[in-house]
Amino acid sequence: FSDKMKDFWVKSAYQTFKVIDNPNLYDRDKLKSLIIKIKPYSQDVKNGLFIVCKALYNIGVTVVFQDYLSTTQVRGGTFIINGKPCIVLTDFNKSYPTLWFTLLHELHHVLFDFDLIETNSFHLTGEADLFLIEEKANSFARDFFMSEEKFNYIKSQINNPYLVSKFANVNEVHVSIIYSFFTWYQKEKYNKKYYGAFVKFYPDYKNSLTKLNPLSWNDESIKSVGERIKKILEIN
Protein backbone atom coordinates (compact mmCIF):
# COMPACT_ATOMS: atom_id res chain seq x y z
CA PHE A 1 0.00 0.00 0.00
CA SER A 2 2.81 2.37 0.92
CA ASP A 3 4.59 1.77 -2.40
CA LYS A 4 1.37 2.39 -4.33
CA MET A 5 0.77 5.66 -2.48
CA LYS A 6 4.35 6.78 -3.15
CA ASP A 7 4.04 5.83 -6.81
CA PHE A 8 0.83 7.87 -7.02
CA TRP A 9 2.58 10.81 -5.30
CA VAL A 10 5.53 10.70 -7.71
CA LYS A 11 3.39 10.42 -10.84
CA SER A 12 1.11 13.27 -9.72
CA ALA A 13 4.07 15.54 -9.02
CA TYR A 14 5.75 14.63 -12.31
CA GLN A 15 2.64 15.33 -14.36
CA THR A 16 2.09 18.63 -12.55
CA PHE A 17 5.59 19.79 -13.44
CA LYS A 18 5.05 18.72 -17.05
CA VAL A 19 1.94 20.90 -17.21
CA ILE A 20 3.67 23.87 -15.55
CA ASP A 21 6.55 23.52 -18.05
CA ASN A 22 8.71 26.33 -16.65
CA PRO A 23 9.83 28.38 -19.71
CA ASN A 24 12.84 29.90 -17.94
CA LEU A 25 16.31 28.47 -18.48
CA TYR A 26 17.95 26.87 -15.45
CA ASP A 27 21.14 28.69 -14.51
CA ARG A 28 23.25 27.12 -11.75
CA ASP A 29 25.31 30.27 -11.20
CA LYS A 30 22.16 32.35 -10.78
CA LEU A 31 20.87 29.78 -8.29
CA LYS A 32 24.09 30.07 -6.26
CA SER A 33 23.69 33.85 -6.23
CA LEU A 34 20.04 33.62 -5.22
CA ILE A 35 20.49 31.09 -2.41
CA ILE A 36 22.66 33.42 -0.34
CA LYS A 37 19.77 35.92 -0.30
CA ILE A 38 17.06 33.52 0.86
CA LYS A 39 17.55 33.39 4.64
CA PRO A 40 15.95 36.74 5.65
CA TYR A 41 12.71 35.79 3.90
CA SER A 42 12.09 33.12 6.53
CA GLN A 43 11.19 36.01 8.86
CA ASP A 44 8.20 36.91 6.68
CA VAL A 45 5.68 34.17 7.46
CA LYS A 46 2.97 35.43 5.11
CA ASN A 47 4.97 36.30 1.99
CA GLY A 48 8.55 35.04 2.37
CA LEU A 49 8.22 31.53 0.95
CA PHE A 50 6.03 32.78 -1.88
CA ILE A 51 8.57 35.45 -2.89
CA VAL A 52 11.44 32.96 -2.83
CA CYS A 53 9.52 30.41 -4.92
CA LYS A 54 8.71 33.04 -7.55
CA ALA A 55 12.36 34.09 -7.68
CA LEU A 56 13.45 30.47 -8.09
CA TYR A 57 10.89 29.97 -10.86
CA ASN A 58 12.41 32.91 -12.71
CA ILE A 59 15.79 31.12 -12.88
CA GLY A 60 14.35 27.79 -13.98
CA VAL A 61 13.71 26.09 -10.61
CA THR A 62 10.05 25.21 -10.04
CA VAL A 63 8.85 24.70 -6.45
CA VAL A 64 5.38 23.44 -5.53
CA PHE A 65 3.75 22.26 -2.34
CA GLN A 66 1.80 19.00 -2.08
CA ASP A 67 -0.20 17.70 0.84
CA TYR A 68 1.61 14.91 2.65
CA LEU A 69 0.30 11.46 1.82
CA SER A 70 0.14 9.19 4.86
CA THR A 71 2.48 6.17 4.95
CA THR A 72 4.85 7.65 2.33
CA GLN A 73 7.28 9.30 4.80
CA VAL A 74 8.20 11.78 2.05
CA ARG A 75 9.26 15.20 3.34
CA GLY A 76 10.14 16.56 -0.07
CA GLY A 77 11.51 15.62 -3.44
CA THR A 78 13.63 16.83 -6.32
CA PHE A 79 12.87 15.97 -9.95
CA ILE A 80 14.87 16.80 -13.05
CA ILE A 81 12.47 17.27 -15.96
CA ASN A 82 13.67 18.45 -19.37
CA GLY A 83 16.98 19.43 -17.79
CA LYS A 84 15.34 21.70 -15.19
CA PRO A 85 15.08 21.19 -11.40
CA CYS A 86 11.63 20.77 -9.90
CA ILE A 87 11.09 20.64 -6.13
CA VAL A 88 8.15 19.39 -4.09
CA LEU A 89 7.64 20.39 -0.45
CA THR A 90 5.20 18.58 1.84
CA ASP A 91 3.73 19.26 5.27
CA PHE A 92 5.18 16.03 6.68
CA ASN A 93 5.88 17.58 10.11
CA LYS A 94 3.29 20.36 9.75
CA SER A 95 5.97 22.77 10.89
CA TYR A 96 6.97 26.19 9.53
CA PRO A 97 10.75 25.78 10.03
CA THR A 98 10.62 22.33 8.42
CA LEU A 99 9.34 23.91 5.18
CA TRP A 100 12.40 26.17 5.00
CA PHE A 101 14.80 23.43 6.05
CA THR A 102 13.39 21.09 3.39
CA LEU A 103 13.62 23.77 0.71
CA LEU A 104 17.33 24.31 1.40
CA HIS A 105 17.85 20.55 1.64
CA GLU A 106 16.36 20.10 -1.83
CA LEU A 107 18.30 23.05 -3.24
CA HIS A 108 21.49 21.31 -2.08
CA HIS A 109 20.46 18.30 -4.16
CA VAL A 110 19.89 20.60 -7.14
CA LEU A 111 23.33 22.17 -6.78
CA PHE A 112 25.41 19.09 -6.02
CA ASP A 113 23.46 15.98 -7.05
CA PHE A 114 21.95 17.15 -10.32
CA ASP A 115 23.50 14.46 -12.54
CA LEU A 116 22.71 11.66 -10.09
CA ILE A 117 19.08 12.73 -9.78
CA GLU A 118 18.72 13.25 -13.53
CA THR A 119 19.94 9.69 -14.09
CA ASN A 120 17.29 8.38 -11.69
CA SER A 121 14.64 10.97 -12.73
CA PHE A 122 13.91 12.00 -9.11
CA HIS A 123 15.04 11.82 -5.50
CA LEU A 124 12.67 11.64 -2.53
CA THR A 125 13.78 12.98 0.84
CA GLY A 126 12.78 10.62 3.61
CA GLU A 127 13.65 7.39 1.79
CA ALA A 128 16.64 5.17 2.56
CA ASP A 129 19.81 7.12 1.81
CA LEU A 130 21.41 4.70 -0.64
CA PHE A 131 23.95 7.22 -1.92
CA LEU A 132 24.76 8.87 1.44
CA ILE A 133 23.68 12.24 0.10
CA GLU A 134 21.02 13.05 2.70
CA GLU A 135 23.53 13.74 5.46
CA LYS A 136 25.34 16.31 3.31
CA ALA A 137 22.07 17.97 2.32
CA ASN A 138 20.95 18.14 5.96
CA SER A 139 24.27 19.65 7.03
CA PHE A 140 24.03 22.19 4.23
CA ALA A 141 20.54 23.27 5.32
CA ARG A 142 21.50 23.50 9.01
CA ASP A 143 24.68 25.48 8.33
CA PHE A 144 22.82 27.76 5.94
CA PHE A 145 20.48 28.96 8.67
CA MET A 146 22.92 28.77 11.55
CA SER A 147 26.56 27.76 11.95
CA GLU A 148 27.51 25.28 14.64
CA GLU A 149 29.38 28.01 16.49
CA LYS A 150 26.31 30.25 16.62
CA PHE A 151 24.05 27.40 17.65
CA ASN A 152 26.38 26.42 20.49
CA TYR A 153 26.11 29.96 21.78
CA ILE A 154 22.33 30.34 21.66
CA LYS A 155 21.44 26.86 22.93
CA SER A 156 22.68 27.87 26.39
CA GLN A 157 20.19 30.77 26.32
CA ILE A 158 17.28 28.79 24.89
CA ASN A 159 15.01 29.45 27.87
CA ASN A 160 15.39 33.22 27.54
CA PRO A 161 12.83 34.25 24.86
CA TYR A 162 14.14 37.81 24.70
CA LEU A 163 17.71 36.76 23.89
CA VAL A 164 16.61 34.09 21.44
CA SER A 165 14.37 36.59 19.63
CA LYS A 166 17.16 39.17 19.50
CA PHE A 167 19.61 36.54 18.27
CA ALA A 168 17.16 35.48 15.53
CA ASN A 169 16.76 39.07 14.34
CA VAL A 170 20.52 39.67 14.22
CA ASN A 171 21.01 36.46 12.25
CA GLU A 172 18.02 37.13 9.97
CA VAL A 173 16.11 33.92 10.66
CA HIS A 174 12.66 33.26 12.03
CA VAL A 175 12.85 32.46 15.74
CA SER A 176 11.09 29.11 15.25
CA ILE A 177 14.09 27.87 13.25
CA ILE A 178 16.30 28.26 16.31
CA TYR A 179 13.85 26.38 18.51
CA SER A 180 13.45 23.62 15.92
CA PHE A 181 17.23 23.15 15.70
CA PHE A 182 17.44 22.94 19.49
CA THR A 183 14.62 20.37 19.56
CA TRP A 184 16.37 18.30 16.89
CA TYR A 185 19.70 18.57 18.74
CA GLN A 186 18.24 17.33 22.02
CA LYS A 187 16.56 14.41 20.28
CA GLU A 188 19.66 13.36 18.32
CA LYS A 189 22.24 13.81 21.08
CA TYR A 190 20.32 12.97 24.25
CA ASN A 191 17.12 11.32 22.98
CA LYS A 192 15.14 14.01 24.80
CA LYS A 193 11.84 15.18 23.38
CA TYR A 194 11.19 18.92 23.43
CA TYR A 195 8.52 18.98 20.74
CA GLY A 196 5.91 20.72 22.87
CA ALA A 197 8.24 23.00 24.81
CA PHE A 198 8.43 25.88 22.33
CA VAL A 199 5.25 25.40 20.34
CA LYS A 200 4.07 28.97 21.04
CA PHE A 201 7.00 30.30 19.02
CA TYR A 202 6.02 28.36 15.89
CA PRO A 203 3.73 30.19 13.43
CA ASP A 204 1.00 28.33 11.59
CA TYR A 205 2.80 26.92 8.56
CA LYS A 206 -0.39 27.17 6.49
CA ASN A 207 -0.12 30.96 6.50
CA SER A 208 3.09 30.72 4.45
CA LEU A 209 1.41 28.53 1.82
CA THR A 210 -1.74 30.52 1.10
CA LYS A 211 -0.32 32.42 -1.89
CA LEU A 212 1.39 29.32 -3.26
CA ASN A 213 -2.01 27.71 -3.81
CA PRO A 214 -0.96 24.26 -2.53
CA LEU A 215 -1.75 21.09 -4.42
CA SER A 216 -4.50 19.06 -2.82
CA TRP A 217 -5.42 15.46 -3.51
CA ASN A 218 -8.99 16.72 -3.84
CA ASP A 219 -8.19 18.92 -6.82
CA GLU A 220 -10.27 18.16 -9.88
CA SER A 221 -7.43 17.46 -12.32
CA ILE A 222 -3.66 17.67 -12.61
CA LYS A 223 -3.92 19.82 -15.73
CA SER A 224 -6.01 22.54 -14.09
CA VAL A 225 -3.82 22.47 -10.96
CA GLY A 226 -0.62 22.80 -12.99
CA GLU A 227 -2.02 25.69 -15.03
CA ARG A 228 -3.17 27.45 -11.88
CA ILE A 229 0.25 27.14 -10.22
CA LYS A 230 2.04 28.26 -13.39
CA LYS A 231 -0.05 31.43 -13.43
CA ILE A 232 0.78 32.10 -9.78
CA LEU A 233 4.53 31.63 -10.21
CA GLU A 234 4.92 33.69 -13.38
CA ILE A 235 6.84 36.90 -12.70
CA ASN A 236 4.77 39.97 -13.57
What does the pLDDT average to over 84-108? 92
Kindly report, residue by residue over 203-213, the tens digit of the pLDDT.
Answer: 999 999 988 87
Handedness of CA 138, 70, 231, 19 (dihedral sign): positive
- Specify whether the CB–CB gap between 203 and 176 falls below 8 A: yes
Does position 220 have pLDDT exceeding 80, yes or no? Answer: no
Cβ neighbours around 180 below 10 Å, total: 24
Across the range 24-52, mean pLDDT stands at 96
Does residue 143 have a pLDDT over 50? yes
| Stretch among 25-29, 42-46, 82-86, 219-223 having the lowest mean pLDDT | 219-223
Q: At residue 127, does pLDDT exceed 80?
A: no
What's the rounded Cα separation, in Å, for the pair 230 and 132?
33
Neighbouring C-beta atoms of residue 32, cutoff 10 Å: 11
